Amino acid sequence: MADDGIKNHLFLKAMFTKLLSVIMNKRVFPIILVLVVAGLFWTLSSLGSDKNTNSLSKQQVLLQTVAAIIEQKHYSPKKIDDNFSKQVFKKYLETLDGEKNTLLATDIKALKKYETAIDDEMHGKPIMFYTAVGAIYLKRVEEVKAIYREILSKPFEFTTNESIVLDNDKVAFASNESERKERWRKRLKFLVLERYADMLEQREKAIANNIAFAKIDATKQDSANKKMSFDSIALKTDAQLEIDARNRVLKIIDRSFERSKKRLEDNEQFSLFINTITELMDPHTEYFAPIEKRSFDEQMSGRFYGIGALLREDESVIKLANIVTGSPAWKSKELGVNDIIVKVAQGAGEPVDISGYAIEDAVKLIRGAKGTEVRLTVKKTDGTIKVVSIIRDEIVQDETFARSAIVNKPDGKKVGYIYLPEFYADFDRENGARCAVDVAGEVMKLKSENVDGIVIDLRNNGGGSLYEVINMVGLFIKSGPVVQVKDRDGKPTILNDTDPNILYDGPLAVMVNEFSASASEIFAAAIQDYKRGIVIGSTSTYGKGTVQKSVPLGRQFEVFGDNRSDIGSLKLTFEKFYRVNGESTQLEGVKSDVVIPDTYEFLKFREKDNESALPWDKIEGASIRTTHNYNIDDATKTAKENVAKITNLNSLKKNAEWLTKRNEMPYSLQLDKYIAEQKIIKNTAKENEGFLKLKDTLNIKPPTVDNNKYFNNPDKIKGERYQQWLKSLNTDIYLQEATNIIGNLKKVIPVETVQK
């Protein structure tokens, strides 16, 4: 056995030398080098000891692989040392116990011995920190379950003048058991108070309704009796409502803790630990477990393999909300709306009880490869239990694709509107969905309707394919630079639109908000830099100026016939992108030409609000030719003046700022004060809703060729959703302003300039 071990060791060393030579000579993509070298190193290390390759746990392999790739290929990696280890230590514990009411300060102190060891674990030492945290956390979970159940077993009184701080950043871990229990008491009291106050309001309305129905004449008494039964909450006492509120909170907390415990037991929590590490490098470097990676790919492609059913959460169960016509679920004829999904099995495999699962977790189990079997154990609406076998098939999420509409203005003009939820791209199929192709199709529809201008809506569009955004910019400009990218070696590359043709050269506006990120920012910046149109929206977009690439993990082990290849992938930040003028969109985003106040302006969720975000910088600009066909500057000035006169929007801005500050303040646990506070908050929020809705609705229709999709769709539910989308646009004040701005764009004598 010893001789065999030495032979294997020498063989692998020779293989390592030969493979390294081949890689260097053929200049294989550098990441492959990192993966192979890491895999061989770990294999050699294990063979050189008394342990075999099986001694390397999947978790250890994953941690070391991620560390190696980050150090070698991340755009701007932080040094993995004791200081970095301290950051991981702090962030992981705060992420695991976000409300700091499960772990104790003494636990943190006991774990301090690992504070500077995590970097060593990332470089090959056995994993100790994660395991130690898990053991302590599971113990504390059991203790906390006893605490919250004891607290919720007794009535709360809401007359004491006390308050609670909900900002977790402003509290520390409880110093002892007594403090932890008090923190839980206040937290649970607040949760019960929320529901209790809501029930009191419902009861008040129900009593008013019942009184009204009691006054109807005798011929309608049966109807009144039905109504009285339906509004039975009107008959409940304060004490009964308080019990109901406590029971609801108990169900929610039980469900949350069972899911947290299950995640730890199933090793799902290790993904959170890995992502704690990756997110400290930058907010967008992210680890995807195999099932998470599939979900990400589905989102990008707009296609997935599943059963074709929409789910919804109802208390502690997951129900079928809708079944897509023609889908595998529909063809089975065995599933119905409101059926409860109890378990999910992969074919003949062991069923997984999904009680307490979040919808997204249940969906991941139900989806899978085309042609594979999933077995659902469902509780039918009549109470019977049934196991339904379904073969997965392709489901196209066409509602996530580009779509268009026409805004008919009172002055007779027509403005085209294109909604793009993300820059999707299905690269796995020759004719897969591409957003640039789809947007081009929508532009052609609008041109055939002789629109007087086009608005492209990128609000809430978080980005996507870099390739697609370049092609999409090319629809509106002549050939030229669209964006610059720079790798970690500092070598900028200019990415160009090479097609000299312009699909649309008319008036153009781009709508953005704080959630418009990445590819959305590239598009908006290019339109701005080329003076091609006007950017309308929030003060700035999200501020994500980095480029990620998906790196499959574990493939290096296939070289050795290892069965641990399925360990997920890493979305790695490897480049930054820059506008053609040389400025990065990182942190600063794209500043709107015309700012229209919204409710998100003062919330801290943009890139600049993340401590681990990469910095802003600037490189040399690229030379571009711009043709000024429209009075962009004059139209922008007029639009700013018009927006400043809209009193509703000015009031909206003030309210948004007040609500943000209010959320950072303590909340009262005294019923009368809480109700008074909530009344002000609700009235302010309701006032904002009114500011955002137009009194005189817009006249919006789909393009003629899409009429059947909206009004004669064979999938009735889908058709109704399309119609609802149109209806939601009718009162959109931002869309109205965008169409008004389009109306101010006039043709001028073309002036071509070269700028850098």
Do 634 and 517 reside in the same domain of the chain? yes
CA distance 212 to 190: 33
* Contact between residue 347 and residue 375 where contact means Cβ atoms under 8 Å apart: yes
Domain of residue 7, residue span: 2-55
Q: How many domains does the chain have?
A: 4
Beta carbons within 8 Å of 668's beta carbon, 6+ residues apart: 161, 162, 163, 674, 677
- Residue 160: HSE in the Cβ half-sphere, 13 Å Cα cutoff: 10
Model pLDDT, residue 375: 95
Model pLDDT, residue 429: 76
Model pLDDT, residue 267: 64
Instruction: Examine the fold and report which residue of 343, 364, 396 is the final residue of a domain before the chain moves on.
Output: 396
3-state secondary structure of 566: coil
User: Is 168 among the domain residues?
Assistant: yes
* Contact between residue 405 and residue 703 where contact means Cβ atoms under 8 Å apart: yes
* Contact between residue 340 and residue 319 where contact means Cβ atoms under 8 Å apart: yes
User: Is 363 among the domain residues?
Assistant: yes
CA distance 717 to 234: 35
Phi, then psi, of 749 in degrees rounded to 5 = -65, 120
User: Is 616 among the domain residues?
Assistant: no
Do 474 and 515 reside in the same domain of the chain? yes
User: Residues in the chain with pLDDT < 70?
Assistant: 1-56, 211-231, 265-267, 291-304, 315-316, 325-326, 356, 382, 396-398, 554-566, 751, 756
Model pLDDT, residue 51: 37
How buried is 691 (Cβ within 10 angstroms: 0-12 exposed, 13-18 middle, 19+ buried)? buried
Model pLDDT, residue 20: 32
Instruction: Examine the fold and report which residue of 369, 396, 423 is the final residue of a domain before the chain moves on.
Output: 396
* Contact between residue 541 and residue 524 where contact means Cβ atoms under 8 Å apart: yes
CA distance 521 to 543: 8
User: Is 266 among the domain residues?
Assistant: yes
Do 158 and 203 reside in the same domain of the chain? yes
Do 135 and 223 reside in the same domain of the chain? yes
Task: Put residue 265 in one of left, alpha, beta given phi > 0 → left and psi -120 to 50 → alpha.
Answer: alpha
Model pLDDT, residue 376: 94
* Contact between residue 527 and residue 473 where contact means Cβ atoms under 8 Å apart: yes
Instruction: Examine the fold and report which residue of 363, 396, 429 is the final residue of a domain before the chain moves on.
Output: 396
Model pLDDT, residue 621: 93
Can you give the CATH number for the domain in which 346 is found?
2.30.42.10
Do 31 and 81 reside in the same domain of the chain? no
User: Is 201 among the domain residues?
Assistant: yes
Do 172 and 42 reside in the same domain of the chain? no
Do 383 and 517 reside in the same domain of the chain? no
pLDDT digits (tens, 9 = 90+) for 512-524: 999 999 999 999 9
3-state secondary structure of 653: helix
- Adjacent-strand bridge partners of 453: 415
Model pLDDT, residue 214: 61
How buried is 383 (Cβ within 10 angstroms: 0-12 exposed, 13-18 middle, 19+ buried)? exposed
Do 437 and 524 reside in the same domain of the chain? yes
User: Is 484 among the domain residues?
Assistant: no
* Contact between residue 257 and residue 145 where contact means Cβ atoms under 8 Å apart: yes
Do 49 and 104 reside in the same domain of the chain? no
Model pLDDT, residue 185: 97
Task: Put residue 386 in one of left, alpha, beta given phi > 0 → left and psi -120 to 50 → alpha.
Answer: beta
Do 173 and 199 reside in the same domain of the chain? yes
User: Is 277 among the domain residues?
Assistant: yes
User: Is 682 among the domain residues?
Assistant: no
Do 105 and 157 reside in the same domain of the chain? yes
Can you give the CATH number for the domain in which 715 is found?
3.90.226.10
Do 355 and 419 reside in the same domain of the chain? no
CA distance 239 to 242: 5
Buried b (16+ CB within 10 A) or exposed e, 734-756: bbbbbbbbbbbbeeeeeeeeeee
